Amino acid sequence: MEIQKNQREELRLALFKATQGCEIQGGDAWPCGTCFFAISDELTNADWQLVLLIRGDYNEKDLSNLPDDPEQSYNKMLRCCNGK
């Protein structure tokens, strides 16, 4: 899945709102892992690794547990954020 700039921003804003304003990680205000996992029990380490990839912390080759279906993971994260 290639994340477009607008999708990246959509996810960042959804995570920001769902974590009630956590913006401690990354240079452009992304939530920390603790706040990410508090959003929903549905979120997994694979989802978190996709966030790390999207926000640019790591390259794909550096992550060992990316989701099999990144688009599904992305949509799940948005759904979990909007359900909060």
- The model's pLDDT over 27-39, given as tens digits with 9 standing for 90+, comes to 677 899 999 999 9
Buried/exposed 11-36: b ≥16 CB within 10 Å, e otherwise: bbebbbebbeebeebeeeebbeeebb
20 or 45, greater pLDDT: 45
In this prediction the pTM is 0.89
Give the C-alpha separation, 77 to 11, whole Å.
Answer: 8
Q: What is the DSSP letter of 65?
A: -
User: Is the model's pLDDT at 53 over the cut of 90?
Assistant: yes
Q: What is the phi/psi pair of residue 51, to 5°?
A: -60, -45
User: Is the model's pLDDT at 84 over the cut of 60?
Assistant: no
3-state secondary structure of 54: helix
